[in-house]
Every structure is written in structure tokens, then in C-alpha cells.
Amino acid sequence: MHVRKCTRPSIVVLLLHMIPLFRAESQPPNIVFILADDFGWNDVGYHNSEIKTPNLDALSATGVRLENYYVQPLCTPSRNQLMTGRYQIHTGMQHQIIWPCQPYCVPLEEKLLPQLLRQAGYDTHMVGKWHLGMYRKDCLPTRRGFDSFFGYLTGSEDYFSHVRCHPLPSKLTRCALDLRDGEEIATGYEGQYSTELLTEKVVKIISNQDPRKPAFLYVALQAVHSPLQVPERYMAPYAFIEDPRRRLYAGMVSAMDEAVGNITAALRETGLWNNTVLVFSTDNGGQTLSGGSNWPLRGRKVSLWEGGVRGVAFVASPLLQRPGTVSRELLHVSDWLPTLVGLAGGTLNGTKPLDGFNVWKTISHGSASPRVELLHNIDPLFVDMGACPGGGEGSSREDRRWSSLGFNISVHAAIRYSNWKLLTGYPGCAVWFPRPGGPNSTRAGALKPVMLFDVESDPEERAEVSDSHPSVVEFLLRRLNHHQKTALPIVFPEEDPRCDPGPTGAWGPWA
């Protein structure tokens, strides 16, 4: 290898090297938010999983791991709260997800995160899964604050064909393309694996980004949501996993981990990393029906148990004041909007009252979280989605001790306050699913209509303590009653037959 002798650098070279330093101080940071889909607590390497995630492990080890961080138990609600900074009860979206033919979206009067960042002078780009409604063009990402969009509008699809199949109100099942470039149907991508395709688009955006202007890049990966599909090469390291679903899922996680590595490599190669804050988060707990694992937490996706709502997340950035740390402060997905707008030097003017907090000092400096309470949800229409192996349903018997406090304890709801978590009604599948390859699931006994857990000392929710702490139960039921009084009516319309894209069309706006 030829080694060039050191020479005194010219003043021009010195100035060129100093430009990134001046830029970092003179403009807000780039913000990259990577959202994984259905990524379970026990599916990341640093939680001692059998799945290897070297890029996530390395990034989080030099950043701040968020170990007391919460999301919603389903896709649409988490994305809704990320984009609005408001509890789903305050947008009428407290029940389930948005299905392809339902004529509604995040209320148009809500001001979303990309709109606020665009007002702060950011370029705003989205790649991946939207799932916040698309029946009208006004609901699309490019009408809600994003300068560009490449991805899909519904909740899931084939990773290679990019086709979504869904039963229409007519009972006919329609299979149609769901891939957009901006507002136009994107064709010519059949056969390209989604995780790799989306990563290529992200890297291209990074390569073309003007370094003189801050960027917000929202990367909502399809991985690791079902269907279980991945190129064979990603599964090769997992031949030792006997369960075929878990083996496929592990390969999908490895593909996602590689994607995150490629995105961060592009940021470094372009020099943008020096002034970037990267957030990685799951949107809900892992789906055990599709190979995911939340061990040792109880429950799974859809449920209000910790396995459904405690999320894998970290922040990585050269701008962190205490890198290489673990935060156990209480944080929630709704906190990102005020936090990121604050980092951007933007304003929250025009938003409706927020439920999220600016938690940058908590993450970066290690300060105490301003959040003491967290409403997980209140959903009077809840129905579990998927068979539960021996999990049982909530007790039908009344508990008259709490009937005078104003809250209907048969309603599916949960609230966290400090170390306490209260659940009412049927929280969802109550099973402790074992570590993959371990013994059979531990079945839950009869569930009580009101259950209290100290989740700081008992994160697995094994010791129900409502009888020994009646004053805490009373306080939290009053808090649930307070929140229920502020809730909007649930919006969950019947599916519209006009959604049918026809045999040659694509899913998209119809109204």
C-alpha cells in the first residue's frame, strides 16, 4: 500500500474539514426514526436472544437503551400516537386498526409530526408502512407533511410481490398491489424483497440530502410483520432453530438488522451522522403466532400485558450527553412528537393538547422523566385477535368493591402510574409464552375484573396484588374514569364496498 508523506494542510483543506462542525452548531440535527413492525422483547440480541442483531446491539451500546419504554399493542394506534403525540382515546382511534376498506384516517384536523418539522425548516421523507388511513387523498402521507413517500398504505402485504389480499364487503377476496411512489402507483418492483427495497430507497434519500438543510427521515419497515418471508441466505445461521416459524422470523430479523446497518453506514459516509439523532423503536410487542417472542414478559401483540406494550427501543447519536447508558425512566411513544419538535427548534403551535412530554433531557442527560402516568388504552369494544392457548377470558363476576368509583371495570383498559399497573376487563391473551425452544406455555388461572401489579419489581406480572393495595386500586380507577371522560367516541366504520381496486388496480384512495 502506498503511504503518502504528511504535508502541511492548506487553509482551504482546513476550512473544508471545519465545515461540518460549523454546520452541526448552526442547524438542528437530522432526525432518523426507524420503526420496526411486531418486533418482540426477546427478539433483539442484547436481550439475550438466540437471534443475532449485531448492528442493533452496537448502535444501542453506544447510545441509550430505553428499557422502560412503552408502545401501543397494535400497529395503527402506535403510529397514530407517534404522529400526533396524543392518546388514541383523544383521536377516536382506541379500537383495533384501520382495515383497507374502512373509510377513515387519523383526523385531518390533527397536526402531525412531519408537518411540524417541515414548518421548522426540515426536508421530510417517509419510506415504508403508513397504515394511518388512505380512503381519501387528503389522508395520504404526502398530504400530511411528508415531502416524499415510497411504501405501502395498508397494514401488511407480500414481501416480494407487494400485493395485499383482503376480503371485500361483497365477500370477494381482492388481491391487489399496494406500493406507492409519492401518490402514484409504483410498479416494476416485483421480486424485490421489501426490507432490501425499502433500504435502497432510504440510502438514496440520504445520498441526495442537501447537508445544508436538516432532514427528517421516517423509516417504517415492513419487517418483521407476517407473512413470514425472507431470502434463504438470512436463514442459514439459524438451522439450529427447530420451529420453522421461529427460524423464518429469525432470518427476517437478521435482514432488518442488516438494513439498519446499511442506513447508518450511509449516514456516516455522507457525513450526516455527526449531526443526526437516530431513534429505533418497535410498534408493538411480538406476535407469538408468527414466530415472535416477548419472553419473559407476559402476553403478546394485541394484549395490554407487558408483552404487548413494553417495547424494544434505543436512541443513537453523537449528540447524546451520556452515551453507552441504559435508561429505566418511564417513556411512551407519544413522547416522540414533543421531543423531536423540541430538538428541531420547532413550535407546537397548532397542535391539540398533547399527552406526550419532551423527554430529551431524560434520554440524553439521564434526568428524571417528566412522565409519571401512562394510559395504555380504554377500549369498550375490545375483541382479542387470534386464538389464545388456555389463556382464558376475563372473569364475568362483578367486584362490587369498586362499583362506586365510576369506571366500568368490565371494559378492556390499563393504566400505569409510577411502579403500579392496573388492568380491567379482559386484557388479552394472558399466557406466559416461554423462551423459544423451552417448555410449554404457562397458562393463566382465572382472571379478575380488576388486577394490580408492581411492574417495577414484577415485570412478568406474576403476582397480582389488588387485595393488599386497595387504596392504589381506588386511585387508579379514579384516574381511568378521569381519562374516559376526555375520550372521543370510537370511530370504527363499516367497510366501504367502493374500496375495491378491481382486478388490475392498486389499493388506494377511493372516496
Domain that holds residue 391: 375-485
* Residue whose entry in the numeric block shows the C-alpha cell 437530522: 30
Q: Which of 47, 90, 95, 131 is catalytic?
A: 131
In this structure, what DSSP letter does residue 394 have? B
Active site residue 131: yes
Q: Is residue 504 part of a domain?
A: no
Give residue 374's pLDDT. 98
Active site residue 139: no
Summarised one tens digit per residue, pLDDT across range 161-186 is: 999 999 999 989 999 999 999 999 99
Which residue, of 373, 391, 422, is where some domain finishes?
373
Q: Is residue 459 part of a domain?
A: yes
23: pLDDT strictly greater than 60: no
The CATH number linked to 124 is: 3.40.720.10
Q: Could you give the 3-state DSSP secondary structure of residue 402?
A: helix
Q: What secondary structure, in 3-state letters, does 420-455 show?
A: EEEEECCCCCCCECCCCCCCCCECCCCECCEEEEEC
Give residue 145's pLDDT. 98
pLDDT band per the 50, 70, 90 thresholds, residue 22: very low
259: pLDDT strictly greater than 60: yes
Give residue 13's pLDDT. 33
> To the nearest 10°, the Cα dihedral for 478, 483, 486, 488?
-130
Shared domain for 66 and 94, answered yes or no, is yes
Whole-prediction pTM: 0.93
Give residue 21's pLDDT. 39
Query: What does the pLDDT average to over 186-215?
Result: 98
Summarised one tens digit per residue, pLDDT across range 367-402 is: 999 999 999 999 999 988 888 986 555 554 566 677
Task: Provide the b/e sequence for 144-158 (b: ≥16 CB within 10 Å).
Answer: bbbbbbbbbbbbbbb
Summarised one tens digit per residue, pLDDT across range 231-248 is: 999 999 999 999 999 999
Give residue 335's pLDDT. 98
Residue 335, φ and ψ in degrees, nearest 5: -75, -15
Give residue 438's pLDDT. 81
What is the C-alpha separation between 62 and 25, in angstroms, rounded?
Answer: 22
Query: What does the pLDDT average to over 432-441?
Result: 85
Which residue, of 373, 390, 416, is where some domain finishes?
373
What is the C-alpha separation between 250 and 236, in angstroms, rounded?
Answer: 10
Q: Is residue 115 part of a domain?
A: yes
Give residue 405's pLDDT. 80
Shared domain for 365 and 427, answered yes or no, is no
Shared domain for 363 and 476, answered yes or no, is no
Q: Which of 47, 75, 376, 429 is catalytic?
A: 75
pLDDT band per the 50, 70, 90 thresholds, residue 440: confident
Q: Is residue 10 part of a domain?
A: no
Residue 324: CB atoms within 10 Å: 11
Shared domain for 379 and 324, answered yes or no, is no
Query: What does the pLDDT average to over 314-337?
Result: 98
What is the C-alpha separation between 455 and 374, in angstroms, rounded?
Answer: 13
Give residue 404's pLDDT. 64
470: pLDDT strictly greater than 80: yes
Q: Could you give the 3-state DSSP secondary structure of residue 184?
A: strand
DSSP bridge pairs for 5: none
222: pLDDT strictly greater than 70: yes
The number of CA neighbours under 13 Å toward the Cβ of 1 is 3
Shared domain for 440 and 301, answered yes or no, is no
15: pLDDT strictly greater than 60: no
Summarised one tens digit per residue, pLDDT across range 354-367 is: 999 999 999 999 99
Instruction: Answer yes or no: are the C-beta atoms of 295 and 30 closer than 8 Å.
Output: no
Shared domain for 240 and 382, answered yes or no, is no
290: pLDDT strictly greater than 90: yes
How many distinct structural domains can be found in the chain? 2
Give residue 437's pLDDT. 83
Query: What does the pLDDT average to over 401-416?
Result: 88
For β-strands 420-424 and 450-454, DSSP reports them as antiparallel
Shared domain for 299 and 389, answered yes or no, is no
As a whole number, the mean pLDDT across the chain is 93
Give residue 323's pLDDT. 97
Which stretch of DSSP H or E encloses residue 417? strand 412-417
pLDDT band per the 50, 70, 90 thresholds, residue 445: confident
* Residue whose entry in the numeric block shows the C-alpha cell 442459514: 236
Q: Is residue 121 part of a domain?
A: yes
Residue predicted with more confidence, 9 or 344: 344
What is the C-alpha separation between 149 and 417, in angstroms, rounded?
Answer: 38
Q: Quick one: cell of 348?
A: 407546537
Give residue 6's pLDDT. 37
Give residue 439's pLDDT. 80
Kindly state the percentage of the chain with pLDDT values over 90.
88
Q: Is residue 50 part of a domain?
A: yes
Shared domain for 95 and 154, answered yes or no, is yes
Give residue 394's pLDDT. 56
The CATH number linked to 379 is: 3.30.1120.10
